[in-house]
Structure 1
């Protein structure tokens, strides 16, 4: 296994993949055929159009995919009549990507499924196809090879060894001056890859799932904002055909296998047990709908404080439609629910920037981290909380903090100017955090979020104060909007 360090050029390629939308890779309109097209006609079309695959489409709906490999293995080698319909040799269970997805997501999908062609959809309509060749022109030899290495492992022990390289990836990204949001996306993608591979190994060990499921990331992984210092937050959404007596033991074993595996790979158990291995967070879709209905329509402050992590959710593995259905319903319910939003704001205000009455920065006064500031809970988390409230108030699909803030400006939840201020504050604080963690990792120490002010220049301290001031002011705006006279 190759464990050599990546070059700066490799790291630059990783950044491009993490931010490049799939639509930028589309070079031509899709070449399509109807399901009943004869195979020999389809083959001639592939020759004439100089393509290695065709999309089988009926009434603008994707039916399947046929590649030159299919023609070789399923037609010529099998002696199939070339007059047969092309749909007979097509792959009809096809994974797709959306035009707005990132190129890195498409490459990880190809690595996970060991495929070389992925159709691209725009609002359910086929708009093109991307191939491994398209991505090879963009791909990194660091993050992408690491993802490929993850999917190639056959045991938990091997995954633990490979996962040790994720810290090195973060150090390389920090050394290259990678923006924190791009670095977070790459690090989160490695967690996705580890999770998917653990699920694949779990299904090989325990057998195929008895009913469909969606493995869902929550918290920082869902927001694509992970760093080397992250615990795990996840859950399972099961098909409503799930029967606890018949299927419960299988999914309990599978969930514990994955959560234990992630812990062994350095993603420690969630202190609040917000994990799929916890019975409450491994439930059928109907139960999840009931959870969110109660949280939104009958909010209890303590319950929301514990479960707000589940308002940041992203599909990782399994049946995507299960989560899509859940999120669509949640975001239809949250706008206009002022009591619920007031409780969310109240919880968000528990994390405050460390500014005194005169605007000075206060450090932690006692304990293990005396003399430091907590970059995560005093700076980054308050912005995450603000963005979450904006997203829920506006019914926004976005999960990442930056995308939520951008969407909030369009929905009117916050002005464009204040959005830019918050994004600038987030970028500054997140960059400080990732550089701080990279320094600790380079020294052989565990990454943390506690920064001594003497590590900063005078200019950086002024920027830090400005970032905290922006956050505090916008917390005040939400407090006046939702909490004035309420509690």
Structure 2
């Protein structure tokens, strides 16, 4: 090969799909390439004209347009275009213009056709449109993890062993020993069907109502330790506040249920009836136990200092999940459960120190923890709902001390103080339920810049301790009022447009100009946060009470308020940007650095840069649609 062809060969082999070709094939391609230069603003392709080459960008940037003139995509070095026209009628499908001075490699159509027909990976790549390429990248991660794809039913090894609630603890211990099980499903008369009460000889449920569960741990702690007689009815010691999963749920959902509720056994239901019980030992086959063990360790600690000692284990758990190809939802949910566990244990310790609360209360998690989207870099956003009998003169001192104990305990455990003061230590965010309802009503009815910021934080809320049912009342209030307030939705939409994606970084890889991080991209501020904000607006508009962004997106898709295909695109974009951010944080921990949200574009792989571009384009298009849908009249 000539020196010129060798240079072309070396450059092509750096990029997909050419890096999948054998060297001799790629050398043949390089020898057929012609090179052209286009000045910024020059039209490269016009819609409908004949096309006879595949276009590869050697340097510069190119914009593709739809036939109506709308921007379709922005491409940079290493990208290809024109393939759809070559595959369909040999006519240009997307007009192209040089965004800046650009050098193009022309690969003749016969060469392209030969590569397409003989090389499967090349063909697979060029057949996939940009958004589908992003979906493929996301799907590969999802499919790689058994936690995400394995249903709970795969872990059921036998039918549940059951006892009627009229049995005694001696009966329970005997049956557990005979059946070699660590739990029993307790059944009783289903009052809705009084004629259905038969328990089959095989020991399986036959038209019975599950009323509780007993584990070997219950027998130790609730019978043996307090010295109860063996004829004690099991109804007196069984757990009745049941946490269950469906047999079609995924293993990771069962794991998260165990994490969130700190339980080791879960009844599995099919059409509301128990078909088995899975235990912690069953989960071990699918998960390293790391996150489960961290939660268990949290509840065994007896001081803030002991809780602080777990920080290394929390980080190790985060890194391990990343290295085992968990997706962003699994990681975010597990980290949120760990965060809730810290709060719950600190509240237990606070009540031990201060005594029982004088009136009922609910401790709130806000923001990413409430959405089950927490990562390793986080601060503490929390608040307190107090019973409406709250009397400041009688109760203020207790709850101020409780909030301070929890907040000061979270800080050394990795949950830094909120610089905006969104903490229960702030009197404004430690109020009776009636006041919280007034807050939310006023924020929706009379939006201001300050209250819109509050809405973006407080409308992602979850109860972690106490009267958690109050949270459901607030969620219902938010959903009912927001859906009928066009002014509020328009204001939230405008607010959600304040942060835009860093599309410029595909040209010069420098997008931040704040002094400290002038050669970085903040993936939270410029990626996940604006995505979460716009998803929240759509969710409020359809009356969704979901908190997780993926769940909200499901509600939005079901309500059909987005153009066809936009919902799945948003899901893929959120997943991919989140995972780049997560991997960056995990790598920082492994390298002994303090994790953050700031990535250096030059250190990203070509695969990540290409798919981040697709994801940011999805975000950009979604923001345009958000503005169109909600702000036209506002």
* TM-score range for the pair, normalised by the shorter chain length: 0.7 to 0.9
Structure-2 change in CA distance of 1:238 and 1:366 (3 Å): closer
CA distance in 1, matches of 2:414, 2:294: 16
Q: Deviations over 1:195-243 (max 9, x none)?
A: 1211121122112223332222111111122222111111222333433
> Partners of 2:240 and 2:213 in 1: how far apart?
9
Instruction: Give the match for residue 53 of structure 1.
Output: 184
1:466 aligns with 2:597: no
Question: Corresponding residue for 1:5?
Answer: none
Per-residue deviation, 1:370: 0.7
- Contact kept, 8 Å, 1:231 with 1:270, in 2: the verdict is yes
Query: Residue 448 of structure 2 corresponds to which residue in structure 1?
Result: 300
In 2, the alpha carbon distance for the partners of 1:79 and 1:221 equals 41
What does 1:396-435 correspond to in 2, within 5 Å?
396-435=544-583
Q: 2:257 aligns with which of 80, 95, 106?
A: 106
For the 8 Å contact 2:170–2:230, the answer to whether it is kept is no
Shift of 1:343: 1.0
- Give the alignment's TM-score, normalised by structure 1: 0.83
User: Partner of 1:364 in structure 2?
Assistant: 512
Which residue does the alignment assign to 1:160?
Answer: 308
Distance change >3 Å, CA 109–CA 129, structure 1 → 2: farther
2:629 aligned to 450, 456, 481, which one? 481
> CA separation of 1:93/1:359 partners in 2, compared to 1, >3 Å: closer, same or farther?
same
Question: Which structure has the bigger radius of gyration?
Answer: 2
Matches within 5 A, 1:181-200: 181-200=329-348
- Corresponding position of 1:320: 468
Residue among 313, 321, 329 paired with 2:477: 329
Superposed, 1:166-185 pairs within 5 Å as 166-185=314-333
Q: 1:404 to 1:20 in 2, by over 3 A?
A: farther
* Root mean square deviation of aligned Cα: 3.6
C-alpha distance in 2 between matches for 1:247 and 1:76: 36
Provide the secondary structure at the position in 2 that maps to 1:152. coil
How far apart are residue 258 of structure 1 and its match?
Answer: 1.0
Tell me the TM-score normalised to structure 2 length: 0.65
| Contact 2:456-2:533 within 8 A present in 1 as well | no
Which residue of structure 1 lines up, in the alignment, with residue 404 of structure 2? 256
1:336 offset after TM fit, Å?
2.6
- Native 8 Å contact 2:365 2:462 kept in 1: yes
Partners in 2 of 1:68 and 1:235 — Cα distance? 37
CA gap 1:177/1:69 in 2 versus in 1, 3 angstroms: closer
The worse-fitting range, judged by mean Cα deviation, of 69-78 and 344-353 is: 69-78
How far the C-alpha of 1:345 sits from its partner, in A, is 0.5
Q: Any conservation in 2 of the 1:213–1:322 contact (CA below 8 Å)?
A: no
Q: Distance in 1 between matches of 2:230 and 2:293?
A: 41
Query: Could you say which residue in structure 2 is the equivalent of 1:266?
Result: 414
Indicate how the Cα distance of structure 1 residues 435 and 289 shifts in structure 2: closer, same or farther if over 3 A, else same. Answer: same
Q: How does 1:112-123 map to 2 (within 5 A)?
A: 116-118=264-266
Decide whether the 8 Å contact of 1:214 with 1:320 is kept in 2. Answer: yes
Contact in 2 for aligned 1:171/1:438 (Cα 8 Å): yes
1:270-324 deviation line (CA, Å, top 9, x unaligned): 1111112211212222221111111122222321123421111123222321212
The structure-2 alpha-carbon separation of the partners of 1:62 and 1:322, relative to structure 1 and needing over 3 Å to count, comes to farther
Judging changes above 3 Å, is the alpha-carbon distance between structure 1 residues 66 and 463 closer, same or farther for their aligned structure 2 residues? closer
Q: Does 1:245 align with 2:393?
A: yes
**Kept after mapping to 2: 8 A contact 1:375/1:433:** yes
Give the structure with the larger helix fraction: 1
1:17 CA drift (Å) = 5.7
Match of 1:363, SS? Answer: coil
Q: Structure 2: how far apart are the matches of 1:20 and 1:324?
A: 31
CA distance in 2, matches of 1:146, 1:46: 29
Q: 1:131 to 1:57 in 2, by over 3 A?
A: farther
Per the alignment, residue 438 of structure 1 pairs with: 586
Stretch deviating more after TM superposition (62-71 or 225-234): 62-71
Rounded Cα–Cα distance in structure 1 between residues aligned with 2:506 and 2:176: 71
Given that residues 97 and 118 in structure 1 are in contact (C-alpha distance below 8 angstroms), is that contact kept between their aligned partners in structure 2?
yes
Partner of 2:45: none
* Residue 456 (structure 1) aligned to one of 601, 604, 610: 604
Q: Rate the CA distance shift 1:369–1:36 in 2: closer, same or farther, 3 A.
A: same
Are the structure 2 counterparts of residues 269 and 45 from structure 1 closer, same or farther at C-alpha, using a change threshold of 3 Å?
same
Which structure would you say has the larger RCO, counting Cα contacts within 8 Å and 6 or more residues apart? 1
Q: How far, CA to CA, are the matches of 1:79 and 1:193 in structure 2?
A: 31
CA positional deviation for 1:160 = 0.6
- Structure 1 residues 269-288: aligned runs within 5 Å: 269-288=417-436
Deviations 1:315-345 (A, max 9, x none): 3222321212221232222213211111111
Deviation of residue 178 (structure 1)?
A: 3.1
2:522 to 359, 371, 374: 374
- Note the C-alpha offset of 1:68: 6.2
SS of structure 2 residue aligned to 1:221: coil
Q: How far apart, in 2, do the equivalents of 1:227 and 1:272 lie?
A: 19
Change (3 A) 1:284 1:30: farther
* Structure 2 partner of 1:90: 237
Rate the CA distance shift 1:272–1:135 in 2: closer, same or farther, 3 A.
same
For the 8 Å contact 1:21–1:103, the answer to whether it is kept is: no
